[in-house]
Structure 1
Amino acid sequence: MNSIIPTALLTLLALVNFGQACIDKSIYYEIDNEIEKIASSINAEEQLVHFYGGIVRLAAHDFMDYDQNSDTSFGSDGCIDWNHEVNKGLETIWCTSCPLTKLYRKKYSFISKADFWIASANAVIRQLSKNQSFDLANTFLWGRKDATTCKGSGNRIPLATGTCQDVEDTMLDAMGLEWRDAVALLGAHTIGKGHEAVRSPFERHDGYWMPTVADSLRFDKQYYEELILRTWRARNSGTDLEDFTASTEETHEHPQIMLKSDVCLLYNSDSNYPCCSKTHRFRNGRNQCDVEQVLSKKKCRRYSNRDTRMQAVNAVLEYLGGSSPNDNQGPFYRAFNTAWYKATTNGHDNLKPLRRMC
């Protein structure tokens, strides 16, 4: 009996390693399977969109507070500033009674929350990708340490009313990414939805980025197609809820939205909001931009060729995968893989790749 105890203790120490237990491929794909099991128990599509989209948002908000210029860099550290309005809604994804939290505490608390959140987000992306073909396992690294506090980190994440300047401040200047990386990461909105506010006006951007709820359960390049093909008109101008909505919103069960930080990837809307993307379009004799006859002549401006944000425009066009319509997901998937890798590893040294076996 005495000879067994030292062995057990050594095994435990090797596993725990201060919250950085080894993650091999079997554990990684086991997490994937568990996420899929939870998803299969959710019958309502709207709730499923919230579950899937919330997991990706949780991982993203954990890494979007990284600032390479600060002594307190933050980044993926399993810590969210729960009291900040930018993170409202995430408490329904990570809480004592939330399925994702219960799964972690029951089976995976030997690894860091930061690693678990990223592995879970990777699972969502794979499951919703075209033919479930987009697997991020080869670029997944583990070994992050969880922080006990990250007060103020929410101030580094753009609010839902943010502009391209906020995206530039966060993703380029602070996180060290390029415009093509930022555009790729924002493509994850394809599985997102706006949330009706419970406690915060910043979450009342009601609607879906995609035309239907079913479209919001696919991780693909449709975000860029919608951005280019739809007529986007300013909504809630002069309020805390400024955004854009599609001119076809009245034909859908839910309004279709784009945030100002989405539309500005293609148009210089930062400088002339409120505006409309396609003032020349009509339906049944009515200008699609018209809301009280205000926007039909105020077109969102294009960027000049010398503007650095043309890099964002070119990325949007590249991720379309060619002339529309097409089903070429390759450019978007490759760019997202690169951007996700950069974002999730920012500020970390000595992270390790998945092992075949621990």
Structure 2
Amino acid sequence: MAANAVIKSTREEVLKKYPTRKPFDLKSVFRYGRTTLKRCSWAVGRLPNPENSCADVKKVFVNHMGLSWKEAAALMGVHTLGRGHKGNSGYDGWWSDSKNSRMFNNDYFVSLGAKGWGPDKKVGGNAMKNQWVRVDKGLKKEERTGKEMMLNTDMCLVWTNDGSGKVDMNAKTAPKYGCNCAWIGPLEAPNGWKKYKDGEFCGSKNVPDDFNEGWPKPRP
């Protein structure tokens, strides 16, 4: 019920700015779910482990829950809201910018492709926690707007660790130096590329002509 209330209120923020967007009817389809418990140790492992990237998305959402990949990707859109805390999950940052974190919209999916990301290894000194952070011009605004991040389980929906499309995106195994950015260039750019990257590719104005080489690659 709390989640429904949050989704409803944050969707209303979207409708204030974009009146033609559709409101959500959550009341007529609401169903009571799990009983509230003080302890739920049995729940360990029932959500994808971000360190295992899309392998765990497949195991939990596709194999265990019976979702299609399209449905699994839609479910991951819950990261439009909220953030990671070191004290809770070990990860640190918002999945969206300060403005869009107040709205239930599709900015999470836009951010995955339109913003530039680089690996952030050993979050808080913990080698078991690795994530992705902004490495484009948005990095300069983080003191004012808050730190943005993505998990391996987010990034792998769009990116692969190599050009074959077979190696899952993983911040822990990403190269520390060199072309270590997930950064769509102008030849493949979605809406928002200019807004977030200011004409750059991997932080450089020297945009390569050939995107068939280098690391990483968008999923085919």
- Structure 2 length as normaliser, TM-score? 0.66
AA in 1 matched with 2:64:
A
Q: Name the CA distance, whole Å, in 1 between partners of 2:112 and 2:31.
A: 32
State the partner residue of 2:92.
206
- Which of 65, 87, 100 aligns to 1:215? It is 100
Q: Name the CA distance, whole Å, in 2 between partners of 1:259 and 1:154.
A: 18
Q: Name the CA distance, whole Å, in 1 between partners of 2:153 and 2:116.
A: 16
- Which of 154, 157, 160 aligns to 1:265? It is 157
Q: CA deviation at 1:150?
A: 5.2
Gaps of 5+ in 1: 1-118, 290-296, 305-358
AA in 2 matched with 1:240:
M
Give the 3-state SS of the residue equivalent to 2:132 in structure 1.
Answer: strand
AA in 2 matched with 1:277:
A
Which deviations, in whole Å up to 9, do the C-alpha atoms of 1:273-326 show, x marking residues without a partner? 41421276987999428xxxxxxx85222334xxxxxxxxxxxxxxxxxxxxxx
Q: Name the CA distance, whole Å, in 1 between partners of 2:110 and 2:185.
A: 19
Pair 226,287 (structure 1): closer, same or farther in 2 beyond 3 Å: closer
- Which of 227, 235, 256 aligns to 2:112? It is 227
Q: CA deviation at 1:206?
A: 1.5
Aligned residues of 1:267 and 1:300 also touching (Cα < 8 A): yes
Q: Which structure shows the higher helix fraction?
A: 1
Q: Map 1:10-25 onto structure 2 (within 5 A).
A: none
Pair 131,240 (structure 1): closer, same or farther in 2 beyond 3 Å: same
1:243 aligns with 2:131: yes
C-alpha RMSD of the superposition: 3.1
Give the 3-state SS of the residue equivalent to 2:25 in structure 1.
Answer: coil
1:131 aligns with 2:19: no
Give the 3-state SS of the residue equivalent to 2:160 in structure 1.
Answer: coil
- Structure 1 length as normaliser, TM-score? 0.43
Q: Name the CA distance, whole Å, in 2 between partners of 1:167 and 1:127.
A: 28
Aligned residues of 1:171 and 1:182 also touching (Cα < 8 A): yes
Q: CA deviation at 1:146?
A: 3.0
Q: Name the CA distance, whole Å, in 2 between partners of 1:227 and 1:284.
A: 17
State the partner residue of 1:10.
none
Pair 245,140 (structure 1): closer, same or farther in 2 beyond 3 Å: same
Which deviations, in whole Å up to 9, do the C-alpha atoms of 1:204-246 show, x marking residues without a partner? 322111122x321111111111111111111116922211111
Q: Name the CA distance, whole Å, in 1 between partners of 2:184 and 2:109.
A: 19
Identity of aligned residues (%): 26
State the partner residue of 1:186.
76
Gaps of 5+ in 2: 17-22, 162-167, 175-179, 187-196, 205-212
- Which of 157, 167, 179 aligns to 2:57? It is 167
Q: CA deviation at 1:153?
A: 2.4
Q: CA deviation at 1:267?
A: 0.9
Q: Name the CA distance, whole Å, in 2 between partners of 1:268 and 1:227.
A: 12
State the partner residue of 1:27.
none
Aligned residues of 1:266 and 1:302 also touching (Cα < 8 A): yes
State the partner residue of 1:303.
219
Q: Name the CA distance, whole Å, in 1 between partners of 2:139 and 2:100.
A: 15
Considering only CA atoms, is the larger Rg found in Structure 1 or Structure 2? 1
Pair 280,239 (structure 1): closer, same or farther in 2 beyond 3 Å: farther
Q: CA deviation at 1:167?
A: 0.7
Q: Name the CA distance, whole Å, in 1 between partners of 2:142 and 2:41.
A: 40
Q: CA deviation at 1:162?
A: 3.7
Q: Name the CA distance, whole Å, in 1 between partners of 2:106 and 2:217.
A: 24
- Which of 257, 273, 276 aligns to 2:181? It is 276
AA in 2 matched with 1:180:
K
Q: Name the CA distance, whole Å, in 1 between partners of 2:184 and 2:71.
A: 30
Which deviations, in whole Å up to 9, do the C-alpha atoms of 1:58-85 show, x marking residues without a partner? xxxxxxxxxxxxxxxxxxxxxxxxxxxx
State the partner residue of 1:43.
none
